[in-house]
Amino acid sequence: MDFKGKKCPVCSEAFQDGDDIVVCPKCGAPYHRECYREKGKCIFPDLHKEKKSWKSVYCTENDETSEQENTAADEETVICKHCGHKNSKDSIVCEQCGDFLTGPVIFSPFNDSTDEEGEEELEKIREQMRNVGPVMGSANFYVNGTSPFSFGIDENEDHDGVTSKELVDYVGGNALYYLPVFSKIKRFNTSRFNFAAFLFNGAWYFYRKQYLKGILVSLSMLLLSILQEIVTTFWAGELWEKANTALGVPEHVPTYYEYLNWMQTNCSHQQILIMLLPYLISLISFVIMIVCGLTANKGYYKKTIRSIKKIKNDNPESDAATLRTIMVKKGGIHLGAAFTLVACESILSMAVMYFFS
């Protein structure tokens, strides 16, 4: 069969003379070879179950010019324009790839409307997206049916050679937070404080696939923790015990000034420094956390821009669909890496405490 003019069901690009085309042996659906490798299987399992051919369902005499590819052969189904999956007629997002079937339905999270029909439609979207799960379709970048571009941000806005749409593809989850932040960084070179990076520091960097920064921050915090335990166990702890005994602890709760007077009277400058060193180390750790919170968004923005440009430079011949797939895979989040780091930090912290106890 001549597939020229017909569209690949994965990338939606029309087949041309000379294209490397593979055909599903069960239903006869054609694919670009690279598109088929990307999916790893035929995306029309319904046809296999019903023992139908792709040609009988999706081909018409004028399908080269037809604009009805999203309409099923009967009125009970809707065909996804992104992956070709047959969905029930009431579906809003594709059950297989997660793309919206009739375009995004926009609901603002700041809308206090109590319109019952709107609430029912929104709940339908939520339910269907929960059923789809973590997908690579555009619905994955919508929160409660709300487009990241519905807040005045142009999806073609330029960010040092990268569009907002490409940023969404790369960032993945929580794009509603990062798009406005990235626009503010580009326009005013200012950013907002990232509380996740402040609280979880190294784990946050791992979560956003910035492994080198995550390792450096986590090692710094771990070394400071070990140093604090060493100083407290071998030097400062003994001096503080003497101070507490002299000041009548626990019967009496000394004030800051009583501790200070005791140190000035009974300790050398070196001993005073040793007593205060654990607190100075805690202060340094806190400063590192503050720096992480202040610089995380800017660093992530620069890393995202560099990564997207590298993907585009390394794949100059790839079409938009292929580039998007690569960006989604390279970007996004790595929850497993973050949990692994937190587990390792917890184990090492307990080991340090046990060793010096």
Exposure string for 181-205, b = 16+ CB within 10 A, e = fewer: bbbebbeeeebeebebbbebbbbbb
pLDDT band at 120 (very low <50, low <70, confident <90, very high): low
Structure tokens at 127: 């339910």
Among 169, 108, 101, 106, which residue's Cα sits nearest to residue 132?
101
pLDDT value at 229 more than 80 = yes
Helix (H, G, I), strand (E, B) or coil at 21: strand
Lowest mean pLDDT among 39-43, 244-248, 301-305: 39-43
pLDDT at 116 over 80: no
Stated as kind and residue range, the H or E segment containing 168 is helix 164-171
Q: What DSSP string runs through 69-137?
A: TTB-SSTTEEE-TTT--EEETT-SB-TTT--BSSSPPP--TT-----HHHHHHHHHHHHHHHHH-S-SS
Cα separation, 102 vs 70, in Å, equals 9
Type of residue at 93: V
Residue 111: what pLDDT? 38
pLDDT of residue 194: 95
Q: What percent of the chain has pLDDT over 70?
A: 75
pLDDT given at position 59: 67
Burial class (CB in 10 A: 0-12, 13-18, 19+), 279: exposed
Quick: pLDDT tens for 185-217.
988 899 899 999 999 999 999 999 999 999 999
Q: Are 44 and 29 in contact (CB under 8 A)?
A: yes
Mean pLDDT for 23-37 is: 83
Q: Which of 31-40, 57-66, 218-227 has the lowest mean pLDDT?
A: 57-66
| pLDDT, mean over the chain | 80
pLDDT at 162: 93
pLDDT one-digit tens code per residue, 288-343: 999 999 999 999 999 999 999 999 999 988 888 888 889 988 998 999 999 999 99
Q: Which of 1-39 are b and which e, b meaning 16 or more Cβ less than 10 Å from the residue's Cβ?
A: eebeebbbbbbbeebeeeeebeebeebbbbbbebbbebe
Find the range with the poorest average confidence among 72-81, 153-162, 239-248, 340-349: 72-81
Task: Point out which residues pair with 71 in neighbouring strands.
Answer: 78
Percent of the chain at pLDDT > 90 equals: 41
| Phi and psi based region of residue 18 (left: phi greater than 0; alpha: psi -120 to 50; beta: remaining) | left
Q: What's the whole-number mean pLDDT along residues 220-244?
A: 93
DSSP 332: S
Residue 228 to residue 225: CA distance in whole angstroms? 5
Structure tokens at 258: 């009583």
Q: Which amino acid is at 168?
A: V
129-154 pLDDT tens trace: 445 443 333 334 444 444 555 555 67
Domains and CATH numbers, the chain: 1-67 (3.30.40), 70-146 (no CATH), 198-356 (no CATH)
Q: Mean pLDDT throughout 124-129?
A: 53
Q: Looking at residue 290, what is its pLDDT?
A: 97
Give the model confidence (pLDDT) of 232-243 as tens digits: 999 999 999 999
Indicate the pLDDT class of residue 261, thresholds 50, 70 and 90: very high
Q: Encode pLDDT of 90-110 as tens digits.
A: 676 666 555 556 544 443 333
Residues 253-282: what's their mean pLDDT?
94
Which residues neighbour 334 within 8 Å (Cβ) at sequence distance 6 or greater? 206, 207, 208, 209
Q: Is 139 exposed, middle or buried (0-12, 13-18, 19+ CB in 10 A)?
A: buried
- Three-state SS string over 45-69 comes to HHHHHHCCCHHHHHCCCCCCCCCCC
pTM of the model: 0.61
